[in-house]
Amino acid sequence: MKIVVGGATSVGKSIIGYLSLGDNDIVVVDEDAAKLDEIAKEFDVQPFLGSISHPDVQEAIGIKNTDMLIAVTDSDEINMVACQVAYTLFNVPKKIARVDSKYFLNPLWNTLYNEKSLPIDLVITPDIEIARFISDVLDFPGSSAIYPFMNRQMNILAFRHFDTDIPFMKFSVAHINHKLAELNARIVLILRGNRQFIHFDDELYLQRNDVLYISCTSSQNMDVMRQFGVDHNPFEKIVMFGANAISQYLASNIENTDNGANCKIIEDNPTRAQKLASVLNRSAVMVGEMMSDVILDEAGFNNADVSIAVTDRDKDNLLISLLATKNRDTQAISLINSRDYNVLAANIRNNVIVDRSVITISAILKYLRKARIEEAYALGRGLGEIWEIRLGNDSSLLGKTVNELNIPSESAAMLIMNNDRLIYNIANHRLAADDKIIMYVSPLDIRQIEKIFYL
């Protein structure tokens, strides 16, 4: 696929980092030569100096032969104009624009984005996507990610398995799934380092630091997590680091939720701190050096239920998480903007990693893939994806069994929702119109799975 990315920003770089793992021809356009050089040294891309909104620039890079434009500069207006130019002059089939301003995101103006007005197929706001991801984690203490499917009728819950004392440790995964069947739930995927397990037998047992992915109906979320020794104790004392759109969304959401949670935000930039404080009501915004013992003590950092570090500095976020996890009862959440810090972040106990590139790419995955995808999530760089695929009345797969699809062994159809029923034993299930299939797709199988479920 030929993809043009407009903007060598942190958002653009995170998208390029993920796209470069696949078989994609990527052109990146920016007006900053230094940023282009930096990206060209790190990734196999074609850099081009100029403004993505200019028709002559789009013509020069051959955008008329492009499958998709992703405009993610720091300017909403440039991103929107770039999509307009790509559609009107060059008939680019798919156009995605980053839009951050609340003035353009007001639901009252939803009709603005269409072929007759602004021809943008998808509007993304990365900081809001990140904030929503963290908000879901806050709703389920102990989890490391929540992946909603089927219009939130069901979830796949992810959490890292630290506790070796839970009763399940002495049973095989196959036996655990037999027990979970009472809750209409199932372990559908296990990540162990860089290895994925999707097919379970009586020889596979849980190990410390496994990341478990468990599917269940939304009403059973907490019952399932209790089976693994995770109790639902709501976060009451919350300390955040960084005054930005992410912390604003989270703090506002906490204020609007009547659960008695106390939120304090630490920011070392007085202007940013003042701006955030002006839009919040109950949350305390504190100005000072983030690593200062005085500031940390004043914020009650050592007694916090959860520490959320969402600054634009990865080193600070990781250091904050290291400090937070000295208290075994404190959950740490850290935003990672660069792939260079992923390994280090993964080694911090009780730390939830929020990878900007993974969250951002998840927001656009269903537009990248050539299948009828309702929802899609990237699990991490090189770790695969989970898709929700809906079969339409016109699907050539209707009447076939799952076994007859010849899905590659490294990928798997994990479950099917049929008439609001979750079906796990699906090998001989005959596919019907409006069946929704939850697929784990290995990075190496993406093209093959697309061919099976091609639109």
Q: How confident is the model at residue 115, as a pLDDT?
A: 63
Q: How confident is the model at residue 243, as a pLDDT?
A: 93
Closest among 72, 75, 62, 12 to 42, alpha carbons compared: 12
Task: Give per-residue pLDDT as tens, 91-145.
Answer: 999 999 998 876 555 555 566 666 666 788 888 888 899 999 999 888 887 788 9
Q: Which amino acid is at 73?
A: T
| Tally of CB atoms within 10 A around 203 | 8
Q: How confident is the model at residue 351, as a pLDDT?
A: 74
**Which residues are bridge partners to 124 per DSSP?**
98
Q: Match 């049973």 to its residue by tokens.
A: 171
Strands 384-390 and 373-380: antiparallel
| 50-64 burial: b if 16+ Cβ within 10 Å, else e | bbbbbeebbeebebe
In contact, 389 and 372? CB cutoff 8 Å? yes
Q: 3-state class of 243 per DSSP? A: coil
Q: How confident is the model at residue 95, as a pLDDT?
A: 94
DSSP H or E run through 352: strand 351-355
Look at phi and psi of residue 112 and say left if phi exceeds 0, alpha if psi is from -120 to 50, else beta: alpha
Taking CA atoms, 403 is separated from 215, 332, 427, in Å, by 21, 42, 5
In contact, 218 and 202? CB cutoff 8 Å? no
- In the chain, the domains with their CATH numbers are 2-124 (3.40.50.720), 142-226 (3.30.70.1450), 237-356 (3.40.50.720), 369-452 (3.30.70.1450)
What is the full DSSP assignment across 257-285?
Answer: S-S--EEEEEES-HHHHHHHHTT-SS-EE
Closest among 132, 161, 139 to 306, alpha carbons compared: 139
Q: How confident is the model at residue 109, as a pLDDT?
A: 58
Closest among 328, 366, 372 to 350, alpha carbons compared: 328
Rg (CA), the chain: 23
**Which residues are bridge partners to 217 per DSSP?**
154
Q: How confident is the model at residue 343, as a pLDDT?
A: 53
Task: Give per-residue pLDDT as tens, 337-369.
Answer: 776 655 554 555 567 889 888 898 888 888 888
Q: How confident is the model at residue 341, as a pLDDT?
A: 53
Main-chain dihedrals φ then ψ at residue 244, nearest 5 degrees = -155, -170
**Per-10-residue mean pLDDT for the chain, 455 residues long?**
91 85 88 93 93 96 94 93 94 91 60 69 89 89 87 88 65 89 92 86 84 89 80 82 93 82 92 93 91 90 91 90 81 81 56 86 84 87 88 88 91 89 87 91 89 80
